Amino acid sequence: MVKYTDGMLKEDALKGKSILITGGGTGLGKSMGKYFLQLGANLIISSRKKEVLERTAEELRSETGGEVLPVVCDVRNFDQVSSVISSAEDAFGALNVVINNAAGNFISPTERLSNRAFDAIVDIVLKGTYNTTLAAGKSWIGKKQKGVFLNIVTTYAWTGSGYVVPSACAKAGVLALTRSLAVEWAEYGIRSNAIAPGPFPTEGAWSRLMPKEIADDLDPAKRIPLGRVGEHQELANLAAFLISDFSSYINGEVVTIDGGEWLKGAGQFSGFDVIPDHMWDLLEMARGKKK
C-alpha cells in the first residue's frame, strides 16, 4: 500500500532538468534536493557555508548517484547570485528551475528588535528572493528559454504573525512577487508558484523558533487539526510536482501544506475541540435538545 512518506512521481519525472535550490545544504532544501535527484534532475545547492554545502553534496551524490554542484552564495549579494546562475549554466548547459528557499528568522517581540535585526531577515528573505529571481529571469528571457520559480513562503505570509514580524513582512513580499511575475513573465514561458508549509521539523527552524524551554507548551502538533507535523517527503512530493511538467498549467498559485493549521486559527469556533463529549451532552441538555 502507498504511504504518504513515499515518493509520488514516476521515475525520471525531472530527468534533464537543472534545479537551483538556495539554502539547499540543510533542512527542507536538502530534502527537496534529494528527491529531485532521485527523479533524475541535476542539482545546484547554494548558501553561505561552504563546508555544509560540500558535506551535503557528497552525501546526496552517494545516496542518489546524481550530479550535485555546491556553490557558495549569499543571496543578499546580486553579483554572487548572478555568478551562481552562470556556474549552473556552465556545468549543466542550462538552468531550468529556481527554488527560492533560503531564509532567516527569529522570534522576538517587535519592539525589542533593532532596525538592523529587521534588515537581517528582510534582506535574506525578500531581497534574496528578488535577487535570485531577477538574475534567473533576465537570463531566461535573454536566452528565450522557459523556466520555473518555486518560492517557499509560509502561511503567515497572508495572515501576518506576531513575534516573527520581519519574516511575515518579507514572506508577504515574496508571495506578491510570485503572483505578480506569474502574470508578467508568463508570456516568456516562465511559471511562478509558491508553497506555504506549516511546521516541518528542521534543525534551522526548530532551534530558532521552538526553544526547548517552551517546546512542550507550544507543541505545534497540538494545534494542528490532523494532529501531527509534516514529513519532509510530503513537501518534497508537492515541490517536485510543482516544478515538473505535470503542473504546466499551474501558475501564480500558493499551495498550503499545513494539516489545516492556519484555518483552525482563523475559524471563530475551531478552538471548541477542547470541549469533551460529556460537556457537549450537558450543553445539549441545557439547551433542551430533543432526543
Name the residue nearer to ligand NAP (CB basis): 145 or 161.
161
Is 156 catalytic? The answer is yes
Say whether residue 20 binds ligand HXC (CB under 6 A): no
* Residue 144 CA: distances (Å) to CA of 9, 43, 139, 211: 28, 22, 8, 47
Say whether residue 223 binds ligand HXC (CB under 6 A): no
DSSP annotation of 226 reads: T
Q: Which stretch binds ligand HXC (CB under 6 A): 80-88, 89-97, 101-109, 182-190?
A: 101-109
| Cβ 10 to ligand HXC shortest distance, Å | 31
| Cβ 110 to ligand NAP shortest distance, Å | 18
Which 3 state secondary structure label does DSSP give 131?
A: helix
Say whether residue 154 binds ligand HXC (CB under 6 A): yes
113 binds, among ligand HXC, ligand NAP, none (CB under 5 to 8 A by kind): ligand HXC
Say whether residue 158 binds ligand HXC (CB under 6 A): no
| Cβ 126 to ligand HXC shortest distance, Å | 12
Task: Give the C-alpha separation, 104 to 120, whole Å.
Answer: 8
Say whether residue 106 binds ligand HXC (CB under 6 A): yes
Annotated catalytic residue within 4, 35, 130, 156: 156
Quick one: how far is CA 51 from the chain centroid? Answer: 23
| Cβ 40 to ligand HXC shortest distance, Å | 29
DSSP annotation of 249 reads: T
Say whether residue 167 binds ligand HXC (CB under 6 A): yes
Residue 121 grid coordinates: 531577515
* Residue 180 CA: distances (Å) to CA of 103, 137, 223: 21, 13, 32
User: Which residue minimizes CB distance to ligand NAP?
Assistant: 204
| Size of the residue set binding ligand HXC (CB under 6 A) | 18
Say whether residue 108 binds ligand HXC (CB under 6 A): yes
Which stretches of 219-276 are DSSP H helices?
220-223, 232-243, 261-266
User: Which residue minimizes CB distance to ligand HXC?
Assistant: 104
Say whether residue 117 binds ligand HXC (CB under 6 A): yes
Task: Give the C-alpha separation, 100 to 85, whole Å.
Answer: 13
Name the residue nearer to ligand NAP (CB basis): 103 or 148.
103
Residue 164 grid coordinates: 516573527
Which stretches of the chain are DSSP H helices?
27-38, 50-64, 78-92, 115-122, 128-143, 156-159, 165-184, 203-209, 212-215, 220-223, 232-243, 261-266, 277-286
Are 242 and 151 within 8 A, CB to CB? no
Residues that bind ligand NAP (CB under 6 A): 22-23, 25-29, 47-49, 52, 74-76, 101-104, 124, 128, 152, 154, 197, 199-200, 202, 204-205
Footprint on this chain of ligand HXC (rule: CB under 6 A): 103-106, 108, 113-114, 116-117, 120-121, 154, 167, 199, 204-205, 208-209
The catalytic residues are 156
